[in-house]
């Protein structure tokens, strides 16, 4: 019924130069919404969108962040593909719960990486942690992105469609070099998938990280992205500039980096409670107590 509109949606996203993943997600979300309404796209109303949102919220228990992504896809479809004017007062953006992610200690990160028998898995995990990479970024690294002479990693066209450089750890370079020799010296994708012509998928990294985390008895919420969180927090604790961390992570907005200020060890950052600054009497009391 709505094939012509879905085709135009794909063309509109290409004109906006969306990433491949965004195009796939938006197409899938809009198609699901259209299937839910079972109506011609041009006859859909705000009431239909609200009904779909309540269905996801109440019947499927979708998180606010997930619903907001669906809403963004539908809004793009309405504005660009159908040519409607979007009224954000009728479809407000949902407030999200801001839960802090899990942060592992340095000892736990070392245990996670050092205990990996599969050297490819070890190299991927070490690179995510030591350079603060997203899982999609580490999967799409090429051999030439490892700049050994400058001790940097080139991250091409990341989530925000911008190139950046991040640091290359000496210890991680040793792991990457050993991996490269063990795995047939890949010259294209640094971490190729099964066929060799495509990069390893995000899902594959998610699976082996989750499996190893369960084996070690680490918190079940640990994911590939946890490595990036740990990099930022541990760097802050070591006194690395907040601005430098923002640049290394590739955050366009400082607000994206703010969360790490909440999760770092205050003791390691040299922050003390004012309660601990009171001068204590040598015997724990005043002369009047004697």
Q: Tell me if 122 sits within 8 A of 113, measured CB to CB.
A: yes
Closest of 225, 221, 219, 259 to residue 242, by C-alpha: 259
Reduced DSSP (H G I as helix, E B as strand, rest coil) percent helix, strand, coil of the chain, to 5: 55, 5, 40
Q: Give the DSSP per-residue string, 77-112.
A: IIIIIS-PPP-TTTSPPPPPP-PPPP---HHHHHHH
Structure tokens at 287: 């002369």
Q: How far apart are the C-alpha atoms of 52 and 93, rounded to whole Å?
A: 14
Helix, strand, or coil (residue 63): coil
Q: Supply the residues annotated as catalytic.
A: 134, 159, 225, 228, 251, 260
Token pair, residue 190, equals 């640094």
In DSSP notation, 37-50 reads HTS-GGG--HHHHH
- CB-based contacts of 142, cutoff 8 Å, min separation 6: 156, 188, 189, 190
C-alpha R_g of the chain = 24
Residue showing tokens 């294209």: 188
Nearest in space to 129 (alpha carbons), one of 223, 32, 52: 223
Question: Cα 47 from chain centroid?
Answer: 33
CB 227 within 8 A of CB 125: yes
């Amino acid at each position: 019924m709505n094939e012509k509109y879905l085709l135009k949606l794909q063309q509109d996203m290409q004109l906006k130069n969306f990433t491949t993943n965004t195009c796939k997600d938006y197409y899938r979300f809009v198609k699901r919404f259209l299937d839910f309404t079972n109506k011609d796209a041009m006859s859909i109303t705000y009431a239909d969108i609200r009904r779909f949102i309540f269905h996801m919220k109440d019947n499927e228990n979708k998180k606010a962040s997930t619903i907001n992504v669906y809403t963004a896809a539908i809004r793009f479809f309405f504005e660009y593909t159908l040519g409607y004017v979007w009224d954000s007062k009728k479809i407000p953006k949902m407030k999200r719960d801001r839960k802090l992610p899990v942060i592992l200690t340095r000892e736990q990160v070392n245990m996670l990486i050092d205990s990996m028998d599969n050297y490819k898995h070890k190299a991927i995990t070490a690179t995510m942690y030591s350079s603060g990479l997203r899982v999609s970024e580490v999967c799409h690294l090429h051999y030439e992105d490892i700049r050994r002479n400058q001790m940097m990693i080139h991250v091409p066209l990341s989530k925000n469609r911008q190139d950046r450089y991040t640091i290359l750890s000496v210890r991680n370079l040793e792991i990457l070099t050993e991996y490269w020799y063990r795995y047939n010296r890949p010259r294209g994708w640094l971490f190729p998938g099964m066929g060799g012509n495509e990069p390893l998928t995000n899902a594959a990294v998610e699976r082996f990280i989750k499996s190893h985390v369960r084996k070690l008895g680490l918190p079940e919420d640990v994911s590939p992205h946890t490595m990036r969180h740990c990099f930022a927090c541990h760097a802050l604790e070591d006194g690395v500039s907040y601005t430098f961390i923002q640049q290394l992570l590739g955050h366009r907005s400082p607000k994206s980096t703010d969360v790490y200020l909440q999760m770092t060890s205050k003791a390691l950052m040299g922050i003390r409670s004012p309660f601990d600054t009171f001068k204590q009497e040598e015997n724990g009391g005043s002369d009047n107590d004697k």
